[in-house]
Amino acid sequence: MRDRTDGRGFATRSIHAGERPDPVTHALNPPIYLSSTFAFDSAAEKEDAVDRSLAWEPGAYFYSRTSNPTNRALEEKVASIEGAEDAVVASSGMAVVSSTLLAHLGAGDHVVVGDELFAITEVLLADDFPRRGIGVSAVDMTDLAAVEAAITPATKLLFLETSTNPRLRVPDLAALAELGHRRGLVVIADNTFLGPALLRPIEHGADLVLHAATKYLSGHGDAVSGVAAGSKALLDPIRKQVDTLGQAASPLSSWLVMRGIRTLQLRSRAASANALQLARYLEGQPAVAWVHYPGLPSHPDHEVAQRLIEGPGGAMLTFRTRGGLDGMAAFTDHLRLCDIGVSLGDVHTLVYPRPKQGGIIRVSVGCEDVDDLLEDFALGLSYVS
């Protein structure tokens, strides 16, 4: 087949990287390799494939728990759009978070983490790490002095979310990377809430970037997946951990995520533009107590967000209605267009009421026509007294 290029631009690489027409059938879409094992013509060929696979050599396959061609295609695509040497795909976002941390931490080590993280990440750190002898200090990642004060001689990693859940705080990633590297730490950024069309942490000094690919990379609410990108030296131990913990990605999920990434930039731009309009609308409503959105000048990290995030500030926003829990329920329970759901990053707008956090409402803004979203939000707020 003729020589091909992935192109240079982000959108072009999102479409073409990792993918080529099938060399046998010339099908444009890459195959989904739904095979647990791979066959060989000789014992020597089998042994070579096993050795190469367990040395984490790309393109070597013997068993899909360890490596699979569809999963590899997704890894190549993510590495390209993140500007990374390589990437590792796993069965979920938490599979990537746990494998990454466990691959680079052992008994007696210490990690400094953000004080506002995904709930299940917090469970991992609070319940699992103490019995493994791993120390954890949670600090406000927007306070550089507090971060530095938390670093000890045993600290190995700095782990943060680029936009926190649910307050949407945006740490100064470049400053944190400089601090972490000065103290000899590996800097790991979970970029799930923004995605690489809006922020690429490696460009700002992070060593590893993680995603729950279930969210923005997939974008259609039909796949559960996770991915880490960075240098091969840092990723190989994660590959081993994914393999030994049995966290292999589903090839079907990887194919769905690849398909989603093709439209990542288009979706991210549309959803971010919608989020800014919704945030501005909510900020002016008497039924709303407050709004958190990095694209608003009222947000404490607005200046940092403007430097780091491409576009107005991402597609996530959080707000609280007046009237406490009754006001929260009055709003969410009368929406006719937007669904109540716990996930994010979908083309559908999802609202997530959080009664245990004082009645805040987290919104993952989708790609609908913004006038329809504004009308639905106005309807919900009309029931808030």
The tokens describing 367, both together, are: 């790609």
Are 53 and 202 in contact by the 8 Å Cβ rule? The answer is no
Query: 18: Cβ–Cβ under 8 A, 6 or more apart, which residues?
Result: 30, 72, 73, 74, 75, 76, 77, 78, 80, 258
* In a shared domain, residues 232 and 281: no
Helix/strand/coil for 362: strand
* In a shared domain, residues 80 and 218: yes
* In a shared domain, residues 71 and 109: no
- The CA distance from 199 to 214, in Å, is 17
- Of 262, 278, 298, the position where a domain reaches its end is 262
* In a shared domain, residues 269 and 377: yes
Q: What is the CATH number of the domain that holds 254?
A: 3.40.640.10
* In a shared domain, residues 277 and 360: yes
Q: State the total domains in the chain.
A: 3
pLDDT, tens digit, 9 for 90 and up, residues 250-264: 999 999 999 999 999
Residue 336 DSSP code: S
* In a shared domain, residues 256 and 271: no
Q: How far is CA 149 from the centre of its chain?
A: 28
The parent domain of residue 192 ranges over: 93-207
Nearest to 201 by CA among 176, 178, 173: 173
* In a shared domain, residues 102 and 79: no
CA dihedral (325, 326, 330, 332) in degrees, to 10, reads 10
* In a shared domain, residues 275 and 357: yes
Q: How confident is the model at residue 5 (pLDDT cuts 50, 70, 90)?
A: confident
* In a shared domain, residues 180 and 124: yes
pLDDT at 1: 59
Give the lowest-confidence range in 14-18, 294-298, 363-367: 14-18
pLDDT, tens digit, 9 for 90 and up, residues 37-96: 999 999 999 999 999 999 989 889 999 999 999 999 999 999 999 999 999 999 999 999
Nearest to 312 by CA among 349, 283, 352, 279: 279
Residue 381 has pLDDT above 80, yes or no: yes
* In a shared domain, residues 278 and 367: yes
Mean pLDDT of 308-313: 97
Angle at 329 between CA 328 and CA 334, to 5 degrees: 115
Give the lowest-confidence range in 20-34, 168-182, 324-338: 20-34
Average pLDDT, the chain: 96
Residue 179 has pLDDT above 70, yes or no: yes
pLDDT at 300: 97
* In a shared domain, residues 203 and 345: no
- Of 191, 207, 223, the position where a domain reaches its end is 207
pLDDT, tens digit, 9 for 90 and up, residues 102-125: 999 999 999 999 999 999 999 999
* In a shared domain, residues 143 and 218: no
- The CA distance from 37 to 312, in Å, is 46
Q: What is the CATH number of the domain that holds 318?
A: 3.90.1150.10
pLDDT, tens digit, 9 for 90 and up, residues 185-235: 999 999 999 999 999 999 999 999 999 999 999 999 999 999 999 999 999
- Of 141, 173, 207, the position where a domain reaches its end is 207
